Amino acid sequence: MDLTSHPIVGASWESFAMDHVIRGMGVDARQCFFWAVHAGAEVDLVIQNGSELLGFEFKRTLAPKLTRSMRSALAVLDLAELTVVYPGRETFPLADAIVVKPVEAFIK
């Protein structure tokens, strides 16, 4: 079986990328949260950085797309920024206050 088609490859990549974001930002685990609502909106990682909340979504695709969940999280949590972390190489805006960054940007 090809590794990229294994059923847990997405979750494994998400854990790998999340670990690098947390370490790269130098935050304590007590500043890190998962957010979800019953209706289905969720954010993979929310970091409390002083008085700001920063959101992170992890997507194992080279073409991440804006989702309703992302827009909902921005509004409900009043996030300072939502970052979509992906395996690509470019940093680019996805929408107001939503930016796509490569996982490499967080690896120190």
CA atoms within 13 A on the CB side of 6: 10
What's the total number of domains in the chain? Answer: 1
- Over residues 17-66, the pLDDT tens digits come to 999 999 999 999 999 999 998 888 899 999 999 999 999 999 999 999 99
Strand partners, 93: 99
At 40 the pLDDT is 82
The domain that contains 44 carries what CATH number?
A: 3.40.1350
Quick count: other Cβ atoms within 10 Å of Cβ 43?
23
3-state helix, strand, coil in the chain (%, to 5): 35, 30, 35
Largest CA distance in the chain: 46
pTM, rounded to two decimals: 0.90
At 108 the pLDDT is 74
Mean pLDDT on 76-102 = 96
pLDDT bin (cut points 50, 70, 90) of residue 11 is: confident
For residue 81, give its domain range: 3-106
